[in-house]
């Protein structure tokens, strides 16, 4: 049996395992809350986590190009970038997804093929790191932008700073 | 190999579950950047005579507390038990049913169990039991009691400055236990030791001195309003002269000072002036009562009262008949639920009657303060204002109910009625995230400081998530609200979670759509951006 | 935290009553002294606690508003969820106390992916309601032990409760419901990590205590043979203040009675006082009419605040320069 055929049968198990393990990186007392992944609005983290992991697993199984992974990865990492995680913890959930795949594949598929398949998942970690940095930078960006929003208008009005009038900019 | 597997490295807890530590054993709290506000500056505490004024640095081991700090706190608890039935009852009757646990936006966003409202309260309750109940004294830890020591104090500080006093939990509690009330009293206790934050104590000191949080001096306030009027003239061709400290005006208008300085609040302030001009209202600004908000409320009841008094004093001095309050959240919690008690009886003012429509504002007959949304909704209902709704056609609007006007007042229909009358495209967010069940912006009660951006992003996530839903489903691109803190905190929240959604006050939308007598053909909105259909080719 | 401790204490209480009556024969202690003492502690303690709460004033009117406020005449307002009048408050309190309105808020149904999904917390509302009402009915049923003539209303409750005749003696519905509700409430504290994390020994203790009371009661009614006539003689004696200790009352009954005594004596010092406290909760029992009627704070005191004169003194020159009117030129 090909890996793909095998995996498409195991999809649900892999999603659930990945989700459960990712949730287990949160404090134990909140895990049961996060595991409830059906309340889109009153438990957005559990919900989004599950939806995104499901998509990622799906895309791995369908061997989709790497660009397709960015949206679901962003979904998860954007949340983890502002939570109580170190950078490695924030992106490391990829390894938990990998482990979930490994657990299933080991049962039926020969080791060399498994190794080759799994090594592809590693590249997601690199993308994940880029996304993580993007959102961390965003945080600092927001801090400075907030300061500008709070003061810029008044600085302009008092002629402490001035801008090039809009009209002249349009000649590009 | 000596290296750990990745999954072992990243997990806070082992994948095979370890027994968790009881919450009382998880001390001391670790202060990490992005999770706590900076400590108060000594000069700000001193200016308003707060005890133990000194520069307070949160991460320093030594918090420079007075020798008998423990007694001060315990005496403080005793005094408050005798003064507040809320506090006394709430300390005793919680059954820890857990109904509140998953209602807090900070718990939902962080997963930190001490952000469950019940546990936040238990942090203080455990101290109460130890010193005030027989069970706690006899059974100690088994009675749910613990000693007050420096680590416990630090924990109280950490978590009472991670509560935005939004009262969502109190809605779901079968006994109405209100964590906001417990946080308010918890912060009062901390303030007995000078344990305040820079972001709160700075505005408090400013507000005492200049009348507003930002420290705008009278002449600056005048120029700022005039700058706005210049912009209004550019947009509408109408020149407005803002009345300032005008004696004998009929109405005193007070709004949060955020509307005088920061984007996008300024557009709301322009909106107020345009509206009042259009209906020919005889009103005045006051440079002293130049702040409706009250950061004193985030330190102690006494400080709140000290800051608020100027509003009625100014109303008296300027001999106005009644007062209109602008769009603000905690300002309205204080004005609606506390003002009358603090300053009343307000017999030197008259029962509010709209000079335009003749409507008597029955619900404000005792404290003589009317919300701008109530006032505007009444104008619209009577057909006083004319609108060109198409000016707002580029906006697909949803409305964020601010916590305080929602759960401390019940102001739901008025702003919606206004928005529907001035905008063609309005969509509600899901039911469990609006009205009395609304989610906090993540920055209320003085937690809109820049240094806790991470905390704000997490706390605001449930709100942002609901906005994203209507953004994706209906193309919503504007989040309207009636709170100055919202106008300050929601823009970064949207930038992070739902880029493409902007934030505005309700009155900005009103003024943009309002057809003014004698105006020129408008091509720009209040933000000086082209109106729909008026974009240059 | 402390589930074992709570369990052991309840077990100890049972053992204590067993040894006391079966081995030491201290029947009158358990039949007369403990019940009376417990009742006195309950009454005095309960009143004392409520008076203590009552002594703390309500300085501010701070209801949690759960619906549209009373404002303009053409806007429909929520008379119950955001009451502006005393009647509205009375209704709000009725729904709160009789139907656990706030807990019910948890049960909002959501539609997800086309499927109706009901929040898990609905169970808490049902569980709580089932427990409290069963307890109330059982309490009412027991009144017939304390009256020589069973009043008709109690007989009605009795016959409704045993409406479904299953076997003999008739099975009370409430016995089954309360057992299920108690197991659910206990199960939550054991299996829901969040609730487990916040639970104290004082949360488990009353649960085990009430489970013990129900268990002994059920055993007496359905399984063990107890001398009902003797028991009624004893309880009537207690009620009419002519205590007797009849022969033939087994230790099972004494255990039951002792656990009830402990529950009564423990009540005023515990979280069970939520029964009294819910009436006094200022976020629920006040009308939201702060702007219409002034609420007076009995301990209000004058505070130091900044006066306009001081403000003008500091900024007068700047104000004059900017053309802002001043009081003193």
**Domain range summary for chain C, segments of one domain joined by +:** 3-303
B372, B292 contact by CB (below 8 A): no
Number of other residues whose CB lies within 10 A of the CB of residue B38? 17
- Looking at the fold, whether B372 and B319 belong to one and the same domain comes out as yes
Arithmetic mean of pLDDT, B97-109: 89
- Looking at the fold, whether B31 and B77 belong to one and the same domain comes out as yes
Q: Is B367 left (phi over 0), alpha (psi -120 to 50) or beta?
A: alpha
The Cα B514–Cα B278 span in angstroms is 9
* Interval C38-77: pLDDT, tens: 999 999 999 999 999 999 999 999 999 999 999 999 999 9
Q: How many CB pairs under 8 A join B and C?
A: 297
Q: Which two tokens stand for residue B147?
A: 């000693």
Arithmetic mean of pLDDT, A143-168: 75
The Cα B148–Cα A2 span in angstroms is 64
- Label residue B519 exposed, middle or buried (CB < 10 Å: 0-12, 13-18, 19+): middle
Arithmetic mean of pLDDT, B415-420: 97
Arithmetic mean of pLDDT, B121-148: 93
Distance of CA B438 to the CA centre of its chain: 13
Range with the poorest average pLDDT among A4-18, B416-430, C34-48, C98-112: C98-112
| Architecture in CATH of A3-141 | Orthogonal Bundle (1.10)
Tell me the longest C-alpha to C-alpha distance in chain B: 84
B315, B251 contact by CB (below 8 A): no
The Cα C237–Cα C239 span in angstroms is 5
H or E stretch at C110: strand C109-112
Say yes or no for a CB contact (<8 Å) between C56 and B208.
no
B284, B242 contact by CB (below 8 A): no
Q: Is B165 left (phi over 0), alpha (psi -120 to 50) or beta?
A: left
- Looking at the fold, whether B173 and B45 belong to one and the same domain comes out as yes
Length of chain C: 329
What pLDDT does A166 receive? 59
The residue assigned the tokens 């949803």 is B398
Q: Helix or strand or coil: residue C106?
A: helix
Here the ipTM equals 0.91
- Label residue B18 exposed, middle or buried (CB < 10 Å: 0-12, 13-18, 19+): exposed
Arithmetic mean of pLDDT, A89-95: 90
pLDDT band at A172 (very low <50, low <70, confident <90, very high): very low
Say yes or no for a CB contact (<8 Å) between B217 and C297.
no
Mention every residue, 6+ apart, whose C-beta is less than 8 A from residue B313: B289, C305, C307, C308
Looking at CA atoms only, how far is residue A12 from chain C in angstroms? 18
- Looking at the fold, whether B455 and B317 belong to one and the same domain comes out as yes
Phi, psi for residue C143 in degrees, rounded to 5: -60, -25
Tell me the Cα Rg of chain C.
Answer: 28
Is B534 inside any structural domain? Answer: no
Say yes or no for a CB contact (<8 Å) between B288 and C300.
no
The Cα A77–Cα C178 span in angstroms is 46
Q: Helix or strand or coil: residue B503?
A: strand
Nearest to B101 among C52, C194, C308 (CB): C194
Question: Which residues on B lie below 8 Å from C271 (Cβ)?
Answer: 92-96
Question: Which residues on B lie below 8 Å from C305 (Cβ)?
Answer: 305-307, 309-310, 313
Question: Which residues on B lie below 8 Å from A22 (Cβ)?
Answer: none
Q: For the packed helices B198-210 and C308-322, what is the interaxial angle rounded to 10 degrees?
A: 80
* DSSP string of B277-307, one letter each residue: HHTT--EEB-SSS-----GGGGT-HHHHHHH
What pLDDT does B277 receive? 97
Nearest to C291 among B174, B177, B369 (CB): B369
Q: Which two tokens stand for residue B374?
A: 């109530």
- Looking at the fold, whether B250 and B321 belong to one and the same domain comes out as yes
H or E stretch at B496: helix B484-497
Is B444 inside any structural domain? Answer: yes
Say yes or no for a CB contact (<8 Å) between A41 and B465.
yes
Considering chain C, what percentage of its residues have pLDDT values greater than 90? 64
The Cα C157–Cα C144 span in angstroms is 11
Question: Which residues on A lie below 8 Å from B492 (Cβ)?
Answer: 142, 145-146
The Cα A8–Cα A57 span in angstroms is 10
The Cα A146–Cα A92 span in angstroms is 31
Q: Give chain B's domain count.
A: 2
Mention every residue, 6+ apart, whose C-beta is less than 8 A from residue B535: none
DSSP B387: B
DSSP C115: E
- Looking at the fold, whether B97 and B216 belong to one and the same domain comes out as no
Nearest to B262 among A99, A150, A157 (CB): A150
Say yes or no for a CB contact (<8 Å) between B9 and A92.
yes
- Looking at the fold, whether B157 and B270 belong to one and the same domain comes out as no
What pLDDT does A85 receive? 86
Arithmetic mean of pLDDT, C97-107: 82
pLDDT band at C121 (very low <50, low <70, confident <90, very high): low
Mention every residue, 6+ apart, whose C-beta is less than 8 A from residue B460: B105, B109, B439, B440, B441, B442, B443, B489, B490, B493, B497
Looking at CA atoms only, how far is residue B417 from chain A in angstroms? 25
Question: Which residues on C lie below 8 Å from A32 (Cβ)?
Answer: 192-194
For C:39-58, CB contacts with B below 8 A are 49, 52-58
B165, B183 contact by CB (below 8 A): yes
Mutate to test the interface with B, among C3, C58, C72 (most CBs of B within 10 A): C72
The Cα B456–Cα A78 span in angstroms is 14
pLDDT band at B18 (very low <50, low <70, confident <90, very high): very low
B92 HSE (CA, 13 A, CB side)? 29
Is B270 inside any structural domain? Answer: yes
Pairing of strands B478-481, B397-399: parallel
Is B9 inside any structural domain? Answer: no
Q: Helix or strand or coil: residue B382?
A: coil
Looking at CA atoms only, how far is residue C223 from chain B in angstroms? 33
Is residue C105 less than 8 Å (CB to CB) from chain A? no
Say yes or no for a CB contact (<8 Å) between A29 and C194.
yes
Parent domain of B426 = 203-513
Q: Which two tokens stand for residue C27?
A: 């029947």
The Cα C5–Cα B531 span in angstroms is 70
What pLDDT does C113 receive? 45
Say yes or no for a CB contact (<8 Å) between B209 and C81.
no
Distance of CA C105 to the CA centre of its chain: 18
Tell me the Cα Rg of chain B.
Answer: 24
Mention every residue, 6+ apart, whose C-beta is less than 8 A from residue B258: B213, B214, B265, B293, B328, B484, B485, B487, B488
Is B20 inside any structural domain? Answer: no
Say yes or no for a CB contact (<8 Å) between A33 and C119.
no
Is residue C120 less than 8 Å (CB to CB) from chain A? yes
Say yes or no for a CB contact (<8 Å) between C119 and A42.
yes
Which of C189, A29, C122 minimizes the C-alpha distance to B97? C189
Q: Helix or strand or coil: residue B398?
A: strand
Instruction: Report which of residues B513 and C226 the model is more confident about.
Output: B513
> Which of B148, B167, B196 is the C-terminal boundary of a domain?
B196
pLDDT band at B481 (very low <50, low <70, confident <90, very high): very high
Report chain A's terminal Cα–Cα distance, integer Å. Answer: 59
> Which of B176, B196, B216 is the C-terminal boundary of a domain?
B196
Q: Helix or strand or coil: residue B323?
A: strand
Tell me the Cα Rg of chain A.
Answer: 22
For C:147-186, CB contacts with B below 8 A are none
Peptide bond into C68 cis (omega under 30): no
Name the residue of chain B whose CA is nearest to A145's CA.
B492
pLDDT band at C167 (very low <50, low <70, confident <90, very high): low
Range with the poorest average pLDDT among A4-18, B420-434, C113-127: C113-127
Say yes or no for a CB contact (<8 Å) between C292 and B93.
no
Say yes or no for a CB contact (<8 Å) between A40 and C117.
no
Distance of CA B357 to the CA centre of its chain: 31
Considering chain A, what percentage of its residues have pLDDT values greater than 70? 93
Pick the CATH number of C3-303 from 3.40.50.2300, 1.20.1050.10, 1.20.950.20, 3.40.50.720: 1.20.950.20
- Please determine, for residue B11, whether its predicted confidence score (pLDDT) is greater than 90: no
Which of B323, B235, B237 minimizes the C-alpha distance to B281? B323
B336, C287 contact by CB (below 8 A): no
Question: Which residues on C lie below 8 Å from A28 (Cβ)?
Answer: 193
- Looking at the fold, whether B387 and B477 belong to one and the same domain comes out as yes
Looking at CA atoms only, how far is residue C252 from chain B in angstroms? 29
Say yes or no for a CB contact (<8 Å) between C198 and B305.
no
Q: Which chains touch C (3 or more CB pairs under 8 A)?
A: A, B
Question: Which residues on B lie below 8 Å from A135 (Cβ)?
Answer: 496
Is residue C296 less than 8 Å (CB to CB) from chain B? yes
Question: Which residues on C lie below 8 Å from A40 (Cβ)?
Answer: 110, 112
Mutate to test the interface with B, among C186, C198, C207 (most CBs of B within 10 A): C198
Q: Which two tokens stand for residue C297?
A: 């704070």
Report chain B's terminal Cα–Cα distance, integer Å. Answer: 67
User: Per mean pLDDT, which of A149-153, B77-81, B343-347 is the most reliable?
Assistant: B77-81
Arithmetic mean of pLDDT, B12-26: 63
Looking at CA atoms only, how far is residue C37 from chain B in angstroms? 19
Mention every residue, 6+ apart, whose C-beta is less than 8 A from residue A97: A14, A18, A22, A53, A56, A57, A60, A121, A124
Phi, psi for residue B343 in degrees, rounded to 5: -110, -15
Looking at CA atoms only, how far is residue B421 from chain C in angstroms? 15
Per-residue CA distances from B359 to B364, B383, B420, B506, C16 (Å): 12, 13, 21, 21, 73
Is B2 inside any structural domain? Answer: no
- Please determine, for residue C21, whether its predicted confidence score (pLDDT) is greater than 60: yes
Kindly list the strands in the beta sheet with B322-325, ordered across the sheet, starting from the edge strand earlier in the chain: B283-284, B251-254, B322-325, B369-371
Domain ranges of chain A: 3-141
Q: Is C76 left (phi over 0), alpha (psi -120 to 50) or beta?
A: beta
Looking at CA atoms only, how far is residue C99 from chain B in angstroms? 10
- Residue C112 pairs in a beta bridge with C115
Number of other residues whose CB lies within 10 A of the CB of residue C152? 8
């Amino acid at each position: 049996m090909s890996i793909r055929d095998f995996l498409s049968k195991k999809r649900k198990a892999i999603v659930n395992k990945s989700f459960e393990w990712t949730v287990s990186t949160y404090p134990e007392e909140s895990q049961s809350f996060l595991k409830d992944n059906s309340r889109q609005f009153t438990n957005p983290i559990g919900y989004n986590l599950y939806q995104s992991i499901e998509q990622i697993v799906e895309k791995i199984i369908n061997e989709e190009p790497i660009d397709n992974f960015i949206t679901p990865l962003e979904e998860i990492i954007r949340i983890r970038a502002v939570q109580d995680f170190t950078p490695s913890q924030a992106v490391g959930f990829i390894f938990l997804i990998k482990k979930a795949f490994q657990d299933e594949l080991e049962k039926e598929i020969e080791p060399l093929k498994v190794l080759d398949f799994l090594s592809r998942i590693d590249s997601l970690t690199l993308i994940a790191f880029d996304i993580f940095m993007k959102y961390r930078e965003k945080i600092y960006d927001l801090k400075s932008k907030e300061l500008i929003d709070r003061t810029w208008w008044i600085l302009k009005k008092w002629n402490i700073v001035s801008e090039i009038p809009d009209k002249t900019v349009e000649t590009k | 190999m000596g290296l750990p597997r990745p999954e072992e490295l990243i997990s806070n807890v082992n994948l095979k579950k370890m027994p968790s530590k009881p919450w009382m054993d998880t001390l001391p709290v670790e202060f990490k950047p992005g999770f706590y506000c900076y400590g108060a500056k000594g000069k700000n505490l001193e200016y308003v005579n707060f005890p133990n004024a000194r520069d307070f640095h949160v991460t320093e081991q030594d918090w420079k507390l007075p020798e008998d700090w423990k007694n001060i706190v315990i005496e403080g608890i005793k005094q408050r038990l005798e003064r507040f039935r809320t506090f006394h009852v709430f300390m005793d009757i919680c059954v820890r049913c857990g109904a509140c646990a998953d209602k807090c936006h900070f718990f939902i966003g962080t997963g930190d169990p001490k952000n469950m409202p019940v546990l936040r309260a238990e942090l203080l309750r455990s101290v109460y039991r130890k010193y005030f109940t027989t069970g706690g004294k006899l059974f100690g830890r088994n009675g749910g009691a613990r000693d007050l020591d420096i680590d416990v104090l630090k924990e109280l500080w950490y978590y009472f400055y991670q509560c935005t006093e939004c009262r969502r939990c109190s809605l779901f509690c079968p006994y109405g236990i209100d964590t906001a009330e417990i946080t308010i009293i918890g912060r009062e206790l901390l303030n007995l030791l000078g344990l305040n934050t820079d972001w709160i104590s700075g505005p408090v000191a400013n507000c005492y001195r200049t009348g507003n949080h930002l420290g705008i001096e009278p002449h600056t306030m005048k120029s700022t309003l005039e700058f706005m009027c210049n912009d209004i003239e550019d947009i509408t061709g109408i020149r407005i002269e803002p009345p300032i400290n005008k004696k004998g005006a009929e109405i005193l208008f007070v709004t949060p000072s955020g509307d005088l300085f920061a984007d996008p609040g300024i557009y709301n302030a322009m909106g107020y002036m345009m509206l009042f001009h259009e209906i020919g209202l005889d009103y005045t600004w006051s440079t002293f009562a130049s702040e409706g908000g009250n950061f004193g409320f985030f330190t102690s009841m006494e400080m709140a009262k000290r800051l608020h008094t100027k509003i009625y004093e100014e109303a008296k001095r300027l001999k106005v008949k009644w007062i209109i309050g602008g769009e603000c959240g905690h300002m309205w919690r204080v004005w609606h639920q506390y003002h009358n008690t603090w300053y009343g009886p307000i017999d030197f003012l008259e029962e509010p009657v709209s000079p335009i429509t003749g409507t008597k504002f029955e619900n404000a007959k005792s404290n003589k303060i009317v919300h701008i949304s109530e006032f505007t909704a009444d104008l619209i209902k009577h057909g006083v204002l004319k609108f060109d709704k198409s000016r707002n056609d580029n906006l697909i609007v949803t409305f964020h109910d601010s916590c305080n006007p929602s759960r401390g007042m019940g102001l739901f229909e008025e702003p919606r009625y206004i928005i529907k009358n001035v905008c063609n495209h309005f969509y509600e967010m899901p039911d469990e995230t609006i009205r009395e069940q609304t989610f906090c912006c993540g920055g209320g009660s003085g937690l809109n400081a820049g240094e806790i951006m991470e905390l704000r992003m997490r706390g605001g996530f449930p709100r942002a998530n609901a906005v994203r839903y209507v953004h994706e489903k209906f193309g919503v691109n504007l989040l309207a609200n009636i709170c100055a803190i919202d106008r300050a905190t929601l823009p970064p929240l949207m930038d992070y979670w739902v880029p493409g959604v902007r934030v505005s006050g309700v009155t900005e939308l009103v003024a943009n759509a309002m057809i003014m007598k004698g105006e020129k053909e408008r091509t720009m909105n209040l933000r000086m951006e082209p109106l729909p259909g008026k974009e240059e080719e | 935290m402390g589930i074992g401790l709570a369990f052991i204490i309840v077990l100890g209480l049972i053992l204590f009553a067993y040894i006391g009556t079966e081995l030491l024969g201290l029947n009158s202690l358990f039949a007369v002294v403990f019940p009376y003492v417990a009742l006195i502690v309950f009454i005095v303690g309960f009143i004392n606690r409520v008076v203590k709460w009552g002594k703390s004033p309500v300085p501010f009117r701070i209801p949690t508003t759960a619906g549209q406020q009373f404002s303009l005449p053409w806007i429909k307002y929520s008379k119950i969820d955001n009451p502006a009048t005393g009647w509205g408050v009375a209704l709000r309190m009725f729904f709160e106390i009789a139907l656990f309105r706030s807990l019910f808020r948890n049960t909002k149904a959501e539609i997800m992916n086309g499927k109706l999904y009901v929040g898990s917390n609905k169970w808490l509302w049902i569980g709580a309601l089932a427990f409290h009402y069963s307890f109330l009915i059982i309490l009412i049923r027991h009144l017939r032990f304390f009256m020589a003539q069973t009043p008709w209303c109690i007989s009605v409750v009795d016959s409704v409760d045993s409406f479904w005749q299953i076997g003999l003696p008739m099975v009370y519905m409430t016995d089954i419901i309360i057992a299920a509700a108690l197991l659910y409430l206990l199960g939550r504290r054991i299996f829901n990590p969040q609730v487990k994390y916040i639970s104290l020994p004082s949360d488990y203790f009353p649960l085990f205590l009430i489970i013990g009371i129900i268990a002994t009661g059920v055993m007496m009614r359905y399984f063990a043979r107890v001398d009902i006539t003797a028991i009624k003689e004893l309880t009537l004696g207690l009620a009419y203040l002519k205590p007797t200790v009849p022969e033939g009352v087994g230790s099972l009954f004494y255990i039951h009675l002792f656990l009830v005594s402990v529950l009564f004596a423990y009540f005023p010092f515990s979280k069970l006082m939520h029964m009294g406290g819910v009436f006094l909760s200022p976020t629920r029992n006040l009308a939201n009419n702060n702007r219409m009627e002034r609420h007076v704070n009995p301990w209000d005191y004058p505070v130091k605040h900044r006066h306009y004169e001081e403000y003008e003194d500091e900024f007068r020159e700047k104000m004059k320069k900017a053309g802002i009117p001043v009081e003193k030129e």
